[in-house]
Amino acid sequence: MTGLIIFAVYSLALGSVFYYLNQPYNRDWWLKVTTMNPFCVYYFGPFSSEKIARCHLAGYQEDLEREQAKITQVVLNQTMPPAQLTICPDEA
β-strands 70-79, 86-87 pairing: unpaired
Question: Nearest 5°: CA angle at 9, between 8 and 10?
Answer: 90
pLDDT tens, 29-84?
999 999 998 999 999 999 999 999 999 999 999 999 999 999 999 999 999 899 99
Task: Name the residue ranges covered by the structural domains of the chain.
Answer: 26-91
**Which pTM was predicted?**
0.70
d(CA 33, CA 53): 12
